[in-house]
């Protein structure tokens, strides 16, 4: 079985998780489930970023010791991942001993190689971004070039990593590997940046007198490690990095790092260069998704327009007759269906409700409910008259088999879902055109049996394809159809893999939400 190692960013624990964080983990979870369905051994790493001044300040503001504060923060994220059905394999925290050890080793190795030196430094510092800004274009009055918040001018001695030494290597690497950064627009952004700027060496230490909460800098007791340098290393420490570690040898290079577009440079410039300097292969791909916005603004703590996913799920459940699984699946579906992953999306309650009502309650939910009803009413819950798919299904089934995996492999969830829903609509139309109630009146029991087998088998295939995005909904469909093999392996996607169904109806998958 071949492996597939995928990661998410480590989330800062200074604030509660919001919809943007949920988005990255839902993307990664759907990809992990899809790869497992394709019989790959997926390893999905997520976690929390727990060092730095921003976290320390938040702990102080909450009247809390830093360690107790980050413990609580990490728990908040884990709680959300459980609620959202995120099937991660490991959760790394930058305060974990095994991570701290690897960070120290990395710095010592880079020092031995001559890639770290000490120098005087003058720059503007943005605490919320944990980033230094230099150069004539940065002015204190204008604030941080990234987030526009206040910056402070700082002059101090620090340790530097020789990014500049590897600039040409990175340019050559990117040119030779155009699919290293996806989507294409982000690849062009990185190349454009490298063509218009020469790389400055990266300041990787912070004096303890200014930043006290961090990993001790192994070369000097007066310093801690810069948070970004610390956090990026999680992608190797999280799978047991040391050159002879079997797990590391098996899993590295990562197959995909999922990130948001705001942290592109850290992952496509700093990170591959750090690995190159350590003689470690670069990851195969960095995929940068867009932002969720509200009223045209990025959703973030500092803008105060947070959408809290736990509250959202609670409210959505209330609107869905208390069905929390429907709320979680509806939320996951909305985020992946509404916009292509590389673009920005606009979040609103109305858009969420419309999607759930039209696609999930109407098209999918009704199809399942009325099919199961008919099997109960006409056949006493059992279907076993196997038959080939009707000609109406054929084109759609072929499209699904051909295009679904291409879209999923290309991180095109919305297109993959469109294909599945095209099939759902075809099945619904087949019901209307066949008019089973007429067959029933005419006592055509054999035809009804064959027709209902076709519906049940069609729905089973739909559930299989939907599983990576809406796992609980697919599990429910399988239970209701009485499907025994619950592996959700795509090897089961061909017609006729299940020969009989024993119906066990549950509450509707997605009740319709009232819109006033």
The contact set with ligand MSP (CB under 6 A) reads 9-12, 20-21, 23-24, 49, 231-232, 234, 259-260, 262-263, 291-292, 298-300
Torsion of CA 418, 420, 426, 428, to 10 degrees: -110
Residues paired with residue 259 on neighbouring β-strands, in sequence order: 288
Residue 416 C-beta: closest distance to ligand MSP, Å? 20
Identify whether the C-beta of residue 341 lies closer than 8 Å to the C-beta of residue 411.
Answer: yes
Instruction: Give dist(CA 449, CA 455) in Å, integer.
Output: 10
Residue of 191, 468, 186 lying closest to 342 (CA atoms): 186
Pairing relationship of beta strands 131-133 and 116-126 according to DSSP bridges: antiparallel
Residue 458 C-beta: closest distance to ligand MSP, Å? 35
Residue 256 C-beta: closest distance to ligand MSP, Å? 13
Given the complex with ligand MSP, which of 214 and 260 has the nearer CB atom? Answer: 260
Residue 191 C-beta: closest distance to ligand MSP, Å? 20
Residue 403 C-beta: closest distance to ligand MSP, Å? 27
The DSSP string of 484-512 is: ------GGG-STTS---EE----S-SSPP
Chain length of the chain: 516
Identify whether the C-beta of residue 53 lies closer than 8 Å to the C-beta of residue 130.
Answer: yes
Given the complex with ligand MSP, which of 260 and 282 has the nearer CB atom? Answer: 260
- Residue 68 φ/ψ, nearest 5 degrees: -65, -40
Given the complex with ligand MSP, which of 69 and 378 has the nearer CB atom? Answer: 69
Given the complex with ligand MSP, which of 264 and 316 has the nearer CB atom? Answer: 264
Identify whether the C-beta of residue 467 lies closer than 8 Å to the C-beta of residue 33.
Answer: yes
Instruction: Give dist(CA 320, CA 330) in Å, integer.
Output: 10
Given the complex with ligand MSP, which of 14 and 319 has the nearer CB atom? Answer: 14
Residue 18 C-beta: closest distance to ligand MSP, Å? 7
DSSP 8-state class, residue 89:
S
DSSP reduced 3-state for 514? coil
Q: How many C-beta atoms lie closer than 10 Å to residue 234's C-beta?
A: 25
Residue 269 C-beta: closest distance to ligand MSP, Å? 13
Tokens of residue 140, six digits? 């204190």
Edge-to-edge strand ranges of the sheet holding 292-294: 297-298, 292-294, 345-346
Pairing relationship of beta strands 501-502 and 382-383 according to DSSP bridges: antiparallel
Residue 361 C-beta: closest distance to ligand MSP, Å? 26
Given the complex with ligand MSP, which of 310 and 431 has the nearer CB atom? Answer: 310
Given the complex with ligand MSP, which of 36 and 186 has the nearer CB atom? Answer: 186
DSSP reduced 3-state for 345? strand
Q: How many C-beta atoms lie closer than 10 Å to residue 195's C-beta?
A: 9
Given the complex with ligand MSP, which of 20 and 282 has the nearer CB atom? Answer: 20
The DSSP string of 117-186 is: EEEEEEEEEETTTTEEE-STT--GGG--TTT----EEEEEEEEEE--GGGHHHHHHHHHH-TTSEESHHH
Residue 320 C-beta: closest distance to ligand MSP, Å? 24
Q: Which residue is nearest to ligand MSP (CB)?
A: 260
Residue 12 C-beta: closest distance to ligand MSP, Å? 4
Termini Cα distance of the chain: 51
Residue of 179, 340, 138 lying closest to 268 (CA atoms): 179
Given the complex with ligand MSP, which of 55 and 123 has the nearer CB atom? Answer: 55
Given the complex with ligand MSP, which of 14 and 454 has the nearer CB atom? Answer: 14
Residue 19 C-beta: closest distance to ligand MSP, Å? 7
Residue 489 C-beta: closest distance to ligand MSP, Å? 30
Residues paired with residue 292 on neighbouring β-strands, in sequence order: 345
Given the complex with ligand MSP, which of 309 and 365 has the nearer CB atom? Answer: 309
DSSP 8-state class, residue 308:
-
Given the complex with ligand MSP, which of 217 and 291 has the nearer CB atom? Answer: 291
Given the complex with ligand MSP, which of 6 and 481 has the nearer CB atom? Answer: 6
Residue 24 C-beta: closest distance to ligand MSP, Å? 5
Q: What is the largest CA-CA distance in the chain?
A: 91
């Amino acid at each position: 079985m071949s492996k597939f190692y995928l990661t998410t960013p480590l989330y800062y624990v200074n604030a509660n998780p919001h919809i943007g964080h949920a988005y990255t983990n839902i993307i990664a979870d759907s990809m992990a489930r899809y790869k497992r369905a394709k019989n790959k051994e997926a390893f999905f790493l997520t976690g929390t970023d727990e060092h730095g001044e921003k976290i320390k300040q938040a702990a102080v503001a909450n009247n809390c010791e830093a360690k107790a504060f980050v413990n609580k923060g990490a728990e908040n994220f884990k709680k959300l991942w459980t609620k959202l059905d995120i099937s991660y394999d490991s959760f790394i925290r930058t305060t974990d001993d095994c991570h701290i050890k690897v960070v120290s080793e990395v710095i010592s190795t880079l020092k031995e190689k001559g890639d770290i030196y000490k120098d005087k430094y003058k720059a503007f510092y943005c605490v919320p971004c944990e980033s230094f800004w230099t150069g004539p274009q940065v002015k204190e009055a204008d604030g941080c070039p990234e987030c526009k918040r206040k910056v402070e001018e700082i002059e101090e001695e620090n340790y530097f990593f020789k990014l500049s030494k590897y600039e040409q290597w990175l340019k050559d690497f990117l040119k030779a590997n155009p699919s290293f950064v996806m989507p294409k627009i982000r690849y062009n952004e990185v190349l454009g940046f490298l063509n218009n700027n020469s790389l400055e060496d990266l300041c990787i230490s912070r004096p303890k007198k200014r930043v006290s909460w961090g990993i001790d800098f192994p070369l000097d007791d007066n310093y801690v490690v810069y948070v970004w340098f610390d956090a990026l290393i999680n992608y190797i420490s999280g799978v047991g990095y040391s050159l002879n570690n079997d797990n590391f040898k098996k899993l590295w290079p990562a197959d995909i790092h999922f990130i948001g577009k705001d942290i592109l440079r850290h992952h496509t410039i700093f990170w591959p260069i750090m690995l190159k300097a350590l003689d470690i292969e670069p990851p195969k791909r960095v995929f940068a998704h867009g932002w969720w916005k509200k009223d045209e603004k990025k959703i973030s703590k500092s803008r105060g327009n947070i959408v809290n996913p736990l509250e959202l799920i609670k409210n959505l459940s209330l609107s869905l007759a208390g069905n929390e699984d429907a709320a979680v699946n509806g939320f996951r579906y909305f985020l992946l269906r509404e916009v292509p992953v590389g673009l920005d999306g606009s979040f609103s309650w109305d858009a969420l409700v419309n999607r759930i009502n039209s696609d999930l309650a109407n098209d999918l939910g009704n199809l399942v409910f009325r099919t199961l009803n008919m099997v109960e009413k006409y056949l006493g819950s059992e279907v076993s008259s196997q038959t080939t798919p009707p000609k109406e299904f054929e084109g759609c089934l072929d499209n699904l088999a051909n295009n679904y995996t291409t879209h999923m492999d290309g991180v095109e969830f919305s297109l993959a879902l469109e294909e599945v829903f095209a099939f759902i609509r075809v099945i619904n139309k087949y019901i209307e055109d066949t008019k089973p109630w007429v067959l029933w009146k005419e006592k055509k029991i054999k035809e009804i049996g064959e027709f209902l087998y076709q519906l049940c088998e069609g729905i089973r295939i739909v559930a299989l394809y939907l599983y990576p995005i809406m796992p609980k909904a697919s599990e429910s469909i399988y239970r209701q159809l009485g499907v025994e093999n619950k592996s959700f392996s795509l090897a089961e996607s061909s017609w006729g893999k299940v020969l009989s169904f024993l119906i066990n109806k549950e509450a509707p998958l997605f009740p319709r939400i009232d819109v006033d």
